[in-house]
Amino acid sequence: MGEKIAVIGAGSWGTALAAVLADNNQNVRLWTRREDQAAEINQESTNHKYLPGFNLPSAIHASADLKRCAADADYILLVVPTKAVREITYQIRPFVDEHTVLIHASKGIEPGTSKRISEMMEEELEGIHYKATVVLSGPSHAEEVCERQPTTVTVSSHVMEAAENVQELFMNNHFRVYTNQDLIGVEIGGALKNIIALGIGMTDGLGYGDNAKAALMTRGLAEIARLGVKLGANPLTFTGLSGLGDLIVTCFSQHSRNWRAGYKLGSGNDLDTVLEEMGMVVEGVRTTKAVHGLAADLEVEMPITAALYNVLFEKKQPEEAVQELMGRVKKHEVENMSLLLGTDFNNIK
């Protein structure tokens, strides 16, 4: 039976990805830190906290014993919130060796260090030799994946052979997987779209219309790409699944926790109350803090991220933040990006 794959994290996304792998006849062990949740998944084939109403494939074996899940796994797939990535990566160290391929499907940037997920994992695994790290990202709400709705994602790695193997593991008639060589761009796009989705939710909560939404998404993607290119990403990645694709799905879907949190903030609720009520991870909040600091360090202009930062952490009223965005000095639409790319497109005759 298939490859041995340890899925670490039984929230909505870890569980949905475990279901895809089980559908593909892989040997899936799903780790949760709660014994009661492992028993529920094994006995009832449900995960009522994170995926209420869904039946999971009975072939998923859940366990709260990390060693049992990861000890002889060919692939270890980490799907925990960004804030838990270092701690959990450190815990899997004893089970990683030169045969292991690590995969992650989390979306965030670490405040303080500005590290991407794969960078944090590499740091926590320092001194251990393993095959590769592969990121899986793209427009993919867990609920629709569990419904076996058509879904497309991207996998990326510095080791393309590993990315292609991971593509093969997940591919089926409902779940189509592309490869992309641009690890930085794929991780940046997946993490930063959550900032913009928070903003879109906020404009919906405030009662703004579709023009505002289009403006935030388009200019939001411009600033994501601006930072990404500065970090070494391929600008074209931001037009792909892990860029524009994920931005669309997170900004338009009511499955999105980032959109929902933004909506509640725009409707007048305070951040602490909103996060407490969500009961699931809202990655965009910490990522806004991380990216605001990173943009300042790198001197990259990110006015939408700055506006979100002010609303989330400086108690600025959302309406005031919108007015400040609209009242900025006059700009040329493609100026910054074209200069970063080394071509002044404004002067092309």
Ligand X SMILES: NC(=O)C1=CN([C@@H]2O[C@H](COP(=O)(O)OP(=O)(O)OC[C@H]3O[C@@H](n4cnc5c(N)ncnc54)[C@H](OP(=O)(O)O)[C@@H]3O)[C@@H](O)[C@H]2O)C=CC1
Q: How far is CA 183 from CA 73, 158, 190, in A?
A: 23, 7, 11
34 is an annotated ligand-binding site residue: yes
Residue 83 known to be catalytic? no
| Beta-carbon count within 10 A of 150 CB | 10
Contact 48, 40 (CB under 8 A): yes
Q: What's the sign of the alpha-carbon dihedral 293, 294, 299, 300?
A: negative
Nearest to 202 by CA among 302, 313, 311, 101: 311
Which positions lie near ligand X, rule CB under 6 A? 9-14, 32-34, 50, 79-82, 84, 87-88, 105-108, 140-142, 280-281, 283
Residues of this chain, 267-286, that bind ligand 13P according to CB under 6 A: 283
The site partner of 250 among ligand X, ligand 13P, none (C-beta below 5 to 8 Å per kind) is ligand 13P
Residue in this structure with the two tokens 């995969």, named with its chain if needed: 103
Name the residue nearer to ligand X (CB basis): 140 or 157. 140
Residues of this chain, 210-229, that bind ligand 13P according to CB under 6 A: none
Q: Which tokens sit at 266? A: 């725009």
Distance between terminal CA atoms of the chain? 61
Considering the candidates 115, 193, 264, 289, report the single residue annotated as catalytic: 193
Report the residue from 197, 221, 251, 265 that binds ligand 13P according to the rule CB under 6 A.
197
266 is an annotated ligand-binding site residue: no
The site partner of 84 among ligand 13P, ligand X, none (C-beta below 5 to 8 Å per kind) is ligand X
Residues of this chain, 99-118, that bind ligand 13P according to CB under 6 A: 107
The site partner of 289 among ligand X, ligand 13P, none (C-beta below 5 to 8 Å per kind) is none
CA distance 50 to 280: 8
In the chain, the amino acid numbered 123 is: E
Could you give the residue numbers annotated as active site?
A: 193
Point out which residues bind ligand 13P (CB under 6 A). Answer: 107, 139-141, 194, 197, 246, 249-250, 255-258, 283
